[in-house]
A and B are shown apart, each in its own frame.
Chain A
Amino acid sequence: MDWGSLHTILGGVNKHSTSIGKIWLTVLFIFRIMILVVAAERVWGDEQDDFICNTLQPGCKNVCYDHFFPISHIRLWALQLIFVSTPALLVAMHVAYRRHEKKRQFRKGDKKCEYKDIEEIRSQRFRIEGSLWWTYTSSIFFRIVFEAVFMYAFYFMYDGFRMPRLMKCNAWPCPNTVDCFVSRPTEKTVFTIFMIAVSSICILLNVAELCYLLTKFFLRRSKKAGNPKHHPNHENKETKQNEMNELISDSCQNTVIGFTS
């Protein structure tokens, strides 16, 4: 059980996402999860061992480390990535529920059901409309909220995004104010700023996706109000565009799978 399993779960959601959603997923896996696993974990690997305080008093180092790092950056990022990926599951569950309903209709021999066999239902890509639109939009909203909450938590806990070289500590049992030195502060600052920057990009992508969905929704409503007739040509164009987007994102995913394996 590791990040690869999360990738498998979210990969299934990818099929039903918009193009911006697919870009978001790629950014999440390549620039956040992969960077976390391949690089950031090593930078923070020796954080307590190499946190050195200028005292021989037993216990002082432990207490000072705990005081300055109530929760490590790396754990906070891991939690952030898990929370931010979770809303996509709402969409996956909704799609699974729809598929289940279609399969039930198909088995009952419902004449309304337009599918020829179960395999077609399994590979069917649902359009983001109706109740699925609401689920999808809520999932994007929650993503934005989680990202913002975690970024604020970082800022609040560490007084900004810089990692200082030296911290002065006078928590008991340290006898006086003691100098404590953090290991690799510059490298940690670089990675912190990188992760914050990518979080901000993800927030922008989510906001853009939200605006895109809202715009599409209002345009569709006004079109329906103005012209209730069905336009098959327009729908075909959209389906072809979606298929192309899928091909692009599948090739991106294959690259990601290659990296993570």
Chain B
Amino acid sequence: MSWASLRDLLSGVNKYSTGIGRIWVAVVFLFRLLVYVAAAENIWKYEREDFECNIKQPGCENVCFDHFFPVSHIRLWALQIIMVSTPSLLVVFHIAYRENREKHHNRKLYKSPGGIDGGLLCTYLISLILKIGFEIVFLVLFYKLYNGFKIPRLVKCDRRPCPNTVDCYISKPTEKMIFLYFLVATSCLCIVLNLSELSYLVCKYSMKCYLKRYIKKHQ
């Protein structure tokens, strides 16, 4: 089980997405997943070993690291990518359910099982809303946990068993900050894409409904 499974899952979803949905999948693959695997993972690889405090007191470094990094940035990043990709499964399940139904009844029940209409439209819209929700939740989590998106070079720690206030130094803070900003930028881009897709679908189907009603009225 690895990122390749997520990639295969998203490739499957791609088939039933709108044009904007496909751009979203491409952005998630290239600018989030690939950057995570090829670059970001290595930056945070030795974050614990290279976290250094100006003290020899055993346990002080451990306690301070745990206090300042309750959940590591890189783990939050990975969770975010997974959570944001998962709502697309709702659409896949719904389409599979439609195809099963058609097979069971042995006749054509839908215009096209993958076509975004009726119940599938609701599922698709719900998945978009969930994606936007998860993105915002994770961005807020990042902001609240780490007091903004900055990573300081030095943090002052006075948790027990550190005897006094102790200077602790974080490794590669600038590089981590650059990639954190990159993460925030791509998240915002994905939120914008999802919002555009949502508005596009809502407008398209409202127009369709309105036209149908208008034609019926005049017949």
Interface residues of A (CB under 8 A from B): 1-3, 5-6, 9, 48-49, 57-59, 61-63, 65-66, 69-72, 74-75, 78-79, 82, 85-86, 89, 93, 96-97, 173
Counting CB contacts under 8 A, is B193 at the interface? no
Which residues of chain B come closer than 8 Å to A86, judged between CB atoms? Answer: 30
Cβ of A58 and Cβ of B54 under 8 Å apart? yes
What 9 pairs between A and B have smallest CB-CB spacing?
A: A59-B169, A1-B3, A70-B174, A62-B169, A58-B54, A78-B39, A75-B39, A78-B38, A71-B175
Minimum CB–CB distance from B96 to chain A (whole Å) comes to 22
A2 to B178 CA separation, bound complex (whole angstroms):
21
A49 to B52 CA separation, bound complex (whole angstroms):
13
Which residues of chain B come closer than 8 Å to A78, judged between CB atoms? Answer: 35, 38-39
Which residues of chain B come closer than 8 Å to A79, judged between CB atoms? Answer: 35, 39
Counting CB contacts under 8 A, is B126 at the interface? no
Cβ of B35 and Cβ of A48 under 8 Å apart? no
The 25 listed contacts between A and B (C-beta, < 8 Å) are: A1-B2, A1-B29, A1-B33, A1-B34, A1-B37, A5-B34, A6-B30, A6-B34, A57-B54, A58-B53, A59-B168, A62-B50, A65-B171, A65-B172, A66-B172, A66-B174, A71-B174, A75-B175, A75-B179, A78-B35, A79-B39, A82-B30, A82-B34, A89-B26, A173-B54
> Interface of chain B, helix or strand or loop or mixed?
helix
Give 9 A-B pairs besides A82-B34, A93-B23 with Cβ atoms closer than 8 angstroms: A1-B3, A58-B53, A58-B167, A63-B153, A71-B174, A74-B39, A74-B42, A78-B38, A97-B19
A66 to B22 CA separation, bound complex (whole angstroms):
38
Counting CB contacts under 8 A, is B4 at the interface? yes
Q: Please, what's the 1-or-0 string for B45-86, where 1 marks a CB less than 8 Å from any CB in chain A?
A: 010001011110000000000000000000000000000000
Which residues of chain A come closer than 8 Å to B38, judged between CB atoms? Answer: 2-3, 78, 82
Cβ of B153 and Cβ of A5 under 8 Å apart? no
Chain B: CB-nearest residue to A89: B26
Minimum CB–CB distance from B172 to chain A (whole Å) comes to 6
Cβ of B175 and Cβ of A62 under 8 Å apart? no
A-B contact count (CB 8 A): 99
Once A72-B175, A78-B38 are accepted as A-B contacts, the answer to whether A1 and B167 lie under 8 Å apart by CB is: no
Interface residues of B (CB under 8 A from A): 2-4, 6-7, 19, 22-23, 26, 29-31, 33-35, 37-39, 42-43, 46, 50, 52-55, 153-154, 167-175, 178-179
Once A5-B34, A48-B46, A69-B175 are accepted as A-B contacts, the answer to whether A59 and B167 lie under 8 Å apart by CB is: yes
Query: Which of B2, B19, B23, B178 is A70 in contact with, Cβ under 8 Å?
Result: B178
Minimum CB–CB distance from B133 to chain A (whole Å) comes to 24
A160 to B38 CA separation, bound complex (whole angstroms):
25
A85 to B4 CA separation, bound complex (whole angstroms):
20
Cβ of A82 and Cβ of B3 under 8 Å apart? no
Minimum CB–CB distance from B83 to chain A (whole Å) comes to 17
Which residues of chain B come closer than 8 Å to A72, judged between CB atoms? Answer: 43, 172, 175
Query: Which of A48, A57, A70 is B50 in contact with, Cβ under 8 Å?
Result: A48
Which residues of chain B come closer than 8 Å to A2, judged between CB atoms? Answer: 34, 37-38
Cβ of B175 and Cβ of A82 under 8 Å apart? no
Which residues of chain A come closer than 8 Å to B167, judged between CB atoms? Answer: 58-59, 173
Which residues of chain A come closer than 8 Å to B175, judged between CB atoms? Answer: 66, 69-72, 75
Cβ of B43 and Cβ of A59 under 8 Å apart? no
Minimum CB–CB distance from A118 to chain B (whole Å) comes to 15
Which residues of chain A come closer than 8 Å to B39, judged between CB atoms? Answer: 74-75, 78-79
A218 to B43 CA separation, bound complex (whole angstroms):
49
A71 to B154 CA separation, bound complex (whole angstroms):
18
A9 to B22 CA separation, bound complex (whole angstroms):
13
Query: Which of A61, A66, A85, A93 is B173 in contact with, Cβ under 8 Å?
Result: A66
Query: Which of B4, B22, B174 is A93 in contact with, Cβ under 8 Å?
Result: B22
Greatest chain A CB density within 10 A among B6, B168, B170, B175 is at B175
